Structure 1
Amino acid sequence: MTVRSPSRPAPPQWRALGTYVDLHVADPEQESAAIALAQAVLAEVDLACSRFREDSDLMRANRAAGEWIRVSPVLVGALRAAVWAAEETDGLVDPGLGELLVAAGYDRTFTDLVPSADPAGMPWADLAPGARRPSWREIEIDQDRVRIPRGLSVDLGAVGKAYAADLVALSIADRLGTACVVSVGGDVRTAAPVPADTDDKHDTDDKHDTDDTDDITGGTVIDSSHHSGLTSDIDIAQDLATLHSGRAPVCRVPLTAGGIATSSITARRWVRGGRTWHHILDPRSGAPAAEQWRAVTAYGSSAAAANAASTAALVLGADAVPWLDARGIPARLVAGDGTVTVTQTWEAARHTGCVVDLAAAGAAPAMTPAMREARS
């Protein structure tokens, strides 16, 4: 997805984290500072969370599986977001699939992947019925330390870009005092400075568990319980080639608060073992998710919430729409033949530009202490 402003030129765009980044700020005088801040935050996310950097905190933690290891607050926040997404989706969005992705051939940045007919090491070979496998539920997170269970390899590909979009948007709003919209690879977040008369929920006491995040249906968060004052049009395309080709978008929707994300099986595909793979794995089988939908777009209280919903929908396949409707999640699903299906709350969200009950939902803060520290 890309960000469009009805009355402004196209916003700045660049590449980071292996994808495109779009940024729009309400105050034009803050644009240069916002770009610099965004690039700095994204560099920190890359150093902390990349599976393709041997020096990243994530890879250090994976190599030290079974032991506590001190890591940056950025990785602590990302792991909290990943575990939260897994909990909210009952494991459909699973951060513990790193080993399976490597076995499937996704062992380097996507641009460096090469086709392979070698069937050796295919993931499902090790998925014997009843076999005991480490679980994401065993990931342990402290204020500045994490412990990955022995035998598990964490991959943050599902939540990483969404977490980065949330972190960038909140950083710009807090530090520069201007509303903004940022898209990181199709995960979009808008944020605004907190009004002077608004209680700062960031000061809520926290016991460092995972109960201090929004529910997936869109609980109140500090900077999106009110509209940002910045309405942006979000262009939705079926794949990155269409999105950045200059061709007309498939759909254009507004965003006024919270986040919106599109997950797709069309962008990252490769050949391994004589078959075509995509990067959305079904944790229940270890194989690529069924191709019922080629793209799913969902609104959420944050980019991370929206991404968790859109990714889970791809994994669920034919069961996605009832699952989304049961949670009141506004979503648009595109089938392989181009047929579009929307959930019950999609049209209402398109009129408001956000999750309809964003301000009325539960009052749990969306940011963990580690994420707040990462922004300080």
Structure 2
Amino acid sequence: MKKWYRIAAVVVVMVAVIAMVIISGVRRSGESEYTRNTITMGTAASFTVYGSHGSENIDGMLKLIDSLDKDVLSWRSADSEIYRVNTTYKPDEDITVSSELAGVLKQTLDISRAHDDLLDITIRPLADVWGIEDGRTEIPSQADIDSALRLVDVSKVSVDGDTLRISEPGMMLDLGAVGKGYGCDMAAEYLKGTDAAGACVALGGSIVVYGSKPDGTAWKVGVKDPRAGEGTTMGVISFGDGETAFVSTSGDYEKYFEQDGRRYHHILDPRTGYPAWNGTIAATVVCDNGLTSDALSTLCMLMDKDKAMKTIQEYGAEAVIIDEDKNVYVSEGLKDRFTITAEDYKLAE
């Protein structure tokens, strides 16, 4: 039996997920709280800001993030730099890009290079063959997978200053593995220039909590239950008053189909050409940088649990990793902050 989520259904589900992910305190009378749920960067988004200019702050963040997506990062938008690169580059010729795009590419490539090029921003030809993001529910032929894999090799991409170079024809860059996290970085940076006391911004699977809530209670971020319906959580991470933190989650439950008892999801392994299957069904990463948290949550899905935990430590990050038997592995720095709330999950030793 096959199961799938088409794009419209995915958006509905993600709105419900975000509604549960941010667990906020009760607002006291007279406090200024502004909340907006919308769509940006091709995903469901939620903004909550505490402060007298919260509505304007949300407008400003949305304008910034929309521009980032449409003008810089989106491989779909005909007006973006990435689209221009993908459609006009010539092998081994220098391409001048904006300092913003160069910075995102360099940070992402540095993480990828440090981990055997496993975080592959040239994955788009393979993703197109599978078509899981667009609701396709058929396994591609091995010939089509092999053909696409010939165009997937991040080692052929380099950045030097504001100069980008791609050494093979027919490749396509896709920053989907880091874009939402970087959007959270931009939201946090924007908030620093405002009078907002606190805020929580969720872009799909990436979240930033910033500053303080008016009631002085901790920020609480729910971890999605990867084997339950929309709007469910299996645990909660608490953050101290005044703390700014970035949280990103990747899992095999967002966009997928099932066939012959196996789940085919959208996180593709550039080594095999197939969805990542290593026993991990969801990974949540917490750190002080949104792009890094987003990148690491994807890497955790592509690595076995032990290697993933070692990688997290390299970046001074923390993680909650869930395996297919519902065992929950929590890094040392989160053990006093994370609480399991679903009975069928158990904390692993």
User: The TM-score by the shorter chain falls in which range?
Assistant: 0.7 to 0.9
- TM superposition score normalised by structure 1: 0.69
- TM superposition score normalised by structure 2: 0.74
2: distance between equivalents of 1:279 and 1:258?
26
8 Å contact from structure 2 (residues 48, 201) kept in 1: yes
1: distance between equivalents of 2:155 and 2:193?
32
Q: Deviations over 1:106-136 (max 9, x none)?
A: 5xxx3x4333465275323565xxx897434
8 Å contact from structure 2 (residues 152, 270) kept in 1: no
8 Å contact from structure 2 (residues 237, 337) kept in 1: no
The change in CA–CA distance for 1:240 and 1:60 in structure 2 (over 3 A counts) is farther
8 Å contact from structure 1 (residues 292, 336) kept in 2: yes
- Specify which of 320, 328, 333 is matched with residue 345 of structure 1: 333
Q: Which amino acid aligns with 2:237?
A: V
Q: Segments of 4+ in structure 1 off by > 6 A?
A: none
Q: Deviations over 1:64-95 (max 9, x none)?
A: 33333344444333323322331344422221
- Specify which of 129, 146, 151 is matched with residue 164 of structure 2: 146
- Aligned residue for 1:197? none
Gaps of 5+ in 1: 194-228, 352-376
8 Å contact from structure 2 (residues 125, 148) kept in 1: no
The change in CA–CA distance for 1:304 and 1:7 in structure 2 (over 3 A counts) is same
Residues matched between the structures, number = 303
- Please state if 1:32 is matched with 2:58: no
8 Å contact from structure 1 (residues 62, 148) kept in 2: no
Shift of 1:163: 0.7
The change in CA–CA distance for 1:80 and 1:33 in structure 2 (over 3 A counts) is farther
Q: Which amino acid aligns with 1:50?
A: S
Larger fraction in strand: 2
Q: Deviations over 1:194-245 (max 9, x none)?
A: xxxxxxxxxxxxxxxxxxxxxxxxxxxxxxxxxxx884211211359845x4
1: distance between equivalents of 2:322 and 2:178?
21
Q: Structure 1 residues 159-168 or 178-187, which shifts more?
A: 178-187
- Aligned residue for 1:5? 24
- Aligned residue for 1:220? none
1: distance between equivalents of 2:198 and 2:277?
39
2: distance between equivalents of 1:118 and 1:321?
29
2: distance between equivalents of 1:191 and 1:87?
30
The change in CA–CA distance for 1:121 and 1:113 in structure 2 (over 3 A counts) is farther
Tell me how large the CA RMSD over aligned residues is. Answer: 3.3
8 Å contact from structure 1 (residues 81, 159) kept in 2: no
8 Å contact from structure 2 (residues 78, 84) kept in 1: yes
- Aligned residue for 1:251? 235
The change in CA–CA distance for 1:240 and 1:260 in structure 2 (over 3 A counts) is farther
2: distance between equivalents of 1:278 and 1:64?
30
- Aligned residue for 2:73? 49
Gaps of 5+ in 2: 1-17, 28-32, 340-349
2: distance between equivalents of 1:35 and 1:280?
31
Which SS does the other structure have where 2:53 is aligned? Answer: helix
Shift of 1:36: 0.5
Which SS does the other structure have where 1:21 is aligned? Answer: strand
Q: Deviations over 1:28-55 (max 9, x none)?
A: x121112111211121122121122233
8 Å contact from structure 1 (residues 4, 11) kept in 2: no
8 Å contact from structure 2 (residues 188, 208) kept in 1: yes
- Aligned residue for 1:312? 299
- Aligned residue for 1:100? 126
1: distance between equivalents of 2:303 and 2:139?
28
- Aligned residue for 1:289? 276
- The alignment-based identity, stated in percent, is 23
Q: Which amino acid aligns with 2:291?
A: A
- Aligned residue for 1:235? 222
- Aligned residue for 1:162? 181
- Please state if 1:86 is matched with 2:112: yes
2: distance between equivalents of 1:192 and 1:50?
29
2: distance between equivalents of 1:115 and 1:308?
26
What are the equivalent positions in structure 2 for 1:64-83 lying under 5 Å apart? 64-65=88-89, 66=91, 67-83=93-109
Shift of 1:250: 1.6
